[in-house]
Amino acid sequence: MKKITQYIPLHLSLFLVLGVLFGYYNPIPTNIILIYLLVSLGLLGLLFWLNKSYFQYKWIFQLVSYITIFVIGIVNITIQDSSHQNAHYSHYRSNENQILFQIDKVLKPTLYHTKYYARVLQIDSIQCEGEILLNIKKDSIEKTLRVGEIYITKSKLHEINKPLNPYSFDYSNYLKKQGILHQISVENTSLLAIDIKINGLKIYAARWRDKIQNSLHKYPFQDNEMAIINAIVLGQRQSISKDLLESYAGAGAIHILAVSGLHVGILFLLLSFLFSPLEKLPYGNHIKTLLIVLVLWGFALLTGLSGSVVRAVSMFTFIAIGLSIRNQRSSVLHALITSFFILVLIHPLFIFDVGFQMSYAAVLGIVLLYPKVNALIPRMKWLIPRKIWQLFSVSVTATIGTLPISLYYFHQFPGLFFLSNIVIVPFLGIIMGVGILVVILSLFQFLPSFIVQIYAGVLSLMNAFIEWVAHQEQFLFKNISFSVFALIASYFVIAMGYRWWIERKTARLFTFLIAIVLLQGVFIFEKHQTETIDELIIFHKARESIYGIKEGNKVQILHSFDSIKDGRIRFINNYKVGLSIKELKFVQPIPNVMMYNKNTILIVDSLEVYQDIPFKPNIVLLRQSPRINLERLLQEYQPKTLIADGSNYKSYVSSWRETCLRNDVKFHYTGVEGAYVLKQ
């Protein structure tokens, strides 16, 4: 452990990540940050020359080195933000543009749209670059666009919508971290295909994958079985149904469906075993490493060079090289850290990717913790119990590594994760291996029916087992509130606990206990914050009215629904988790008058009951599109703020906005400005 903490790329990785985060959240003009880089590089070069001759203070050289890496992180994230570049399409946006683009990635469709990432080639007559989100309305002549195809259309480039309710998933922020800032929504009939061939490795890979999928469709695989083959062999999750996806998530096995570190790691172990006889040859170890790396990158090509697979293959390429140099656990750690540093240096946006974070956290957890956990029980005599314990140890250590990240992003913990992993993971290598064989045989149209039946049966059995585990709801802990501060404090606890575990010293135990107290302090502080902040919130919900009154850790929900269903109020659940709400109480009907924090709120609905009220409201809330003379209402009652919720017609909202503007009254529409929050 001591050698690892002294490993220079570990220190550099830390300062590189800090620089990327600083540059992302605090954008600095490119010309200024380049000056900082030149100054730091010049100073570093001077200190290096002095250090070789008569300079004595090496710590100053190290400090300047870390500052330089920090600045490089800022420069990298600034350069990666293509919107800062003159050729980016965003500089040529107008009310309507003629857009020439190339399909870059096929996404999972929604109920009303098929969705793609597209690379802009030209805006009007100007050559440019940048990625956009393409939404195509579903219709009777729907067709799937293929990666590499080029189309032209006329459309307005819209910004990605931000969430309208607090603590909801911010899709715009997610896409921004993928380098995508705008979207277009068009119909199939408005797309004109352009017969221009632009070739590339990624396009060849996509065409190869399409050919594989077409060959597989000739065989009698069921939809869910085909979806699993696409996921674990070809790295494509678009065809997985929502129910099946939720079952894997509930069983703690969602990682099985995402080709990443787990799959590449299993493939790496299989290849290491298959090529192990080569070690007896001269230079056999190097030949073995070369073959493993070539096969791994071939698998990445097979999956279409998706980002998650490329990252995982890059990581295990470094591990393979590290093990070929020194077959030691420290070599794996060195390779892991080095691969992390290089990948972030090349593509700094990777650090925001959940898959990237979880892959490194899982492998790091296994490498560091597995030997200790596995040694808790002495070596067993019988093979099967020994293997079960080893698999359990791997599952537990990987979960320890990824648990804080999982809680932070997904707010749930599957208690039976070890069961699904012990049953599925040992056979995942076989399932992948047979799947690759099925793909190859289908391409040559030489796939025997008995293999199809057996393989389809195995996949069906795996899906059935996962669904059974997911339905044990008493073991699925949902709606766990977990902040970024709890995330950081949790990893501090894990790190300090690991240090004390490997060397039982009083000082390390004391540090471990401090880490636990710090984590508890985070929870206590956040609980205090939640219980001391009260608010009234007007949520946005299309065609409905829904309001919340928060007092401590309880929320009273006033709503217009005929019945409350979880799927219809997902944003309420997000609000509950985000603020650690313990109790929700649903109330009907919505009153016409509310008092909150010395504010009188008049609520006018379609019944238009508001005349002759004996008070002047501070706030007027319009719902259900009331047909009123708003000009007269504003002049008579002189409210400071007028709010329109999502239950109103948009044409009415536009008219109301203009009326408020003429009368100098603040107007808030939840469909544009988002939920309205009134603090206590």
Residues 399 and 293 in one domain: yes
Report yes or no on 22 lying in a domain.
yes
**Over 60: is that where the pLDDT of 564 sits?**
no
Residues 303 and 220 in one domain: yes
Residues 307 and 355 in one domain: yes
Residues 398-403, mean pLDDT to the nearest whole number: 85
Q: What is the pLDDT of residues 453-476, one digit of tens each?
A: 998 998 899 888 888 888 887 777
Residues 423 and 314 in one domain: yes
Report yes or no on 528 lying in a domain.
no
Report yes or no on 525 lying in a domain.
no
Residues 609 and 669 in one domain: yes
Residues 181 and 213 in one domain: no
Residue-by-residue DSSP string for 496-540: HHHHHHHS--HHHHHHHHHHHHHHHHHHHHHHHHHHH--EEEE--
Report yes or no on 203 lying in a domain.
no
Report yes or no on 531 lying in a domain.
no
Residue with more model confidence, 641 or 92:
641
Residues 373 and 254 in one domain: yes
Residues 316 and 420 in one domain: yes
Report yes or no on 527 lying in a domain.
no
Residues 278-289, mean pLDDT to the nearest whole number: 85
The residues pairing with 114 across neighbouring beta strands, listed in sequence order, are 136
* 198, 221, 247 - which closes a domain: 198
Residues 516 and 552 in one domain: no
Distances (CA, A) of 443 to 115, 216, 298: 28, 8, 16
The residues pairing with 620 across neighbouring beta strands, listed in sequence order, are 602, 642
Burial (0-12, 13-18, 19+ Cβ within 10 Å), 250: buried
Find the helix or strand (DSSP H, E) in which 136 lies: strand 131-137
Category of 486 on φ-ψ map: left (φ > 0), alpha (ψ -120 to 50) or beta: alpha
Q: What is the pLDDT of residues 189-232, one digit of tens each?
A: 888 888 877 777 777 777 878 888 888 888 888 888 888 888 88
Distance CA 531, CA 523 (A): 12
Residues 73 and 108 in one domain: no
Residues 565 and 514 in one domain: no
Q: Which domain holds residue 103?
A: 89-198
Residue 220 has which token pair?
């009698």
Which CATH number does the domain housing residue 141 bear?
2.40.50
Residue pair 581/562 in contact (Cβ under 8 Å)? The answer is: no
* 57, 80, 103 - which closes a domain: 80
Q: What pLDDT score was predicted for residue 566? A: 43
Residue with more model confidence, 354 or 648:
648
Residues 506-528, mean pLDDT to the nearest whole number: 93
Residues 279-288, mean pLDDT to the nearest whole number: 84
What's the domain count of the chain?
5
Q: What is the pLDDT of residues 568-608, one digit of tens each?
A: 578 898 898 888 888 888 888 888 888 888 888 999 988 87
Report yes or no on 448 lying in a domain.
yes
Report yes or no on 348 lying in a domain.
yes
Residues 270-294, mean pLDDT to the nearest whole number: 86
Give the CA dihedral 224, 228, 230, 235, nearest 10 degrees: 140
Residue pair 235/304 in contact (Cβ under 8 Å)? The answer is: yes
* 198, 228, 252 - which closes a domain: 198
**Nearest Cα residue to 336 out of 422, 415, 255, 401:** 401
**Nearest Cα residue to 149 out of 110, 119, 124:** 119
Residues 551 and 604 in one domain: yes
Residue pair 326/374 in contact (Cβ under 8 Å)? The answer is: no
